Amino acid sequence: MDEVKDIYNILGCEYLDEELGYPIHFFKVLETEEAKTSVNMKRQLNQLFKNVNIDEIFNEKDIALEGLKLSSIPIDDLTNPGTNITLLKLKDSIFFLNLFFSNFGDINLSKTSPEIKQMLNSLQGVYRRIDYQIKEGFRSQSSPLNVLEENLEILGKFYHWQVCQEASLRGGTEQSNITPVITSALLMKASILDDLEICDGNCGKIYSEGVEEDVVKCDCGGEIVLAPPVTRVENVSFIYPKNLTEIVVSKEEVSPKRILEFVQNSFLPKRLVLLLNQISELKLSKKVAIPSLAHYNIKDTNDEVRVFFEYHFNSKDDIIIFACITDTRYRSTDLVSAVSLPMILRDVKSSISGEFTPEDVVRRTELRDWNVTPFTKVRELENLDSLERIFSIFGGMG
């Protein structure tokens, strides 16, 4: 079993206080037995998120991120595997967030997600019972907060043990009730931006170095603060089957902008990172977080969309990222089964170092017969309503 070190298991909940009209937060922090920082970290979290609606940070509609795995890598030591971050979240009457910082790279999202759902269901049951008792006058307590915190601690400790000691929530392959298919893939050139100032408010605007030095407040009202390294995707090539628009629910679903959103939403939200960066124990200030797996739920159908990643650093400022999107909604024989994913990711990993073209990478995989667009600047995708428009404007293998 892996050596246990530098573990911070943050469990956070948010619910709306109907009388006061603003969200109430409560946190529990679990860690290695010899560490003594959890009480201080819990205090910091309560202060940092005091005036923040965590649910709104993710800004989701029809498709919700449920689980995310990332590697947080020191930009001054790119060969260092860094810290693994696992994010799990769910929303009902209570919003539940779990951030697990550890050296465990094998936490399994398909195993942990049911545990998180059970914890949320239990907490909501407690909340409804206490709230009812208060309203009926059976309980003098004015808020269910203390009871909720006690139950979060009990549930959280068992979950923590399952990951760290028993290891039943680690290892194995990610499972779906229905075998998904690969619908599209992306090859991206991205930059790592360091020492930038950024708005910690809702807009997340990045301020260039040496510009507007006297500005401390953004137009949106947020404060301008020094940010941890930021990943910015600048050029993207799309890989997809020739008749994709005939297979999917709508053409809008496979527009360049929509597909790229799955990747962009698979990074930790900037505002969440800025808040967590103020907790020194997490050591985020000189690390860049790169996703390895993102798990989404389609609310209307309860289908699953997952995004799998591979990456290669050319330098501390330059990274190549490959993303492969799978979906449980489709059965078309023109799509490739997700069973092929491990082989595809392995083949891509061996191809994205040094000089290459998107065609060079794809022809070595089971996606070799799919369309491959040329690298296109992200800002030029805004007004392109279809993947085919990329070929008509920029050429490539259509």
Distances from the Cα of 312 to the Cα of 184, 349, 351, 354, angstroms? 20, 8, 10, 10
Going by their DSSP bridges, the two strands 336-337 and 376-377 should be labelled as unpaired
The pLDDT score that the predictor gives to residue 215 is 67
- The tokens 């491959």 sit on which residue? 372
**CA-based nearest residue to 389, from 246, 219, 257:** 257
The pLDDT score that the predictor gives to residue 266 is 96
> End-to-end alpha-carbon separation of the chain, Å?
48
The pLDDT score that the predictor gives to residue 179 is 85
The 3-class SS string of the chain reads CCCCCCCEEEEEEEEEECCCCEEEEEEEEEECCCCCCHHHHHHHHHHHCCCCCHHHHHCCCCEEEEEEEEEEEECCCCCCCCEEEEEEEEECCCEEEEEEEECCCCECHHHHHHHHHHHHHHHHHHHHHHHHHHHCCCCCCCCCHHHHHHHHHHHHHHHHHHHHCCCCCECCCCCCCCCCEEEEEEEEEEEEECCCEEECCCCCCEECCCCCCCCCECCCCCEEEECCCEEEEEEEEEEECCCHHHHCCCHHHHCHHHHHHHHHCCCCCHHHHHHHCCCHHHCCCCEEEEEEEEEEEECCCCEEEEEEEEEEEEECCEEEEEEEEEECCCCCCCCEEHHHHHHHHHHHHCCCCCCCCHHHHHCCCCCCCCEECCCEEHHHHCCCCCHHHHHHHHCCEC
The pLDDT score that the predictor gives to residue 22 is 84
The pLDDT score that the predictor gives to residue 346 is 95
**CA-based nearest residue to 345, from 367, 328, 376:** 367
The pLDDT score that the predictor gives to residue 218 is 85
The pLDDT score that the predictor gives to residue 2 is 41
User: CA-CA distance, 5 to 142, in Å (whole number)?
Assistant: 40
The pLDDT score that the predictor gives to residue 1 is 35
Positions of the chain with pLDDT lower than 50, given as ranges: 1-4
Cα angle 112, 49, 87; round to 5: 20
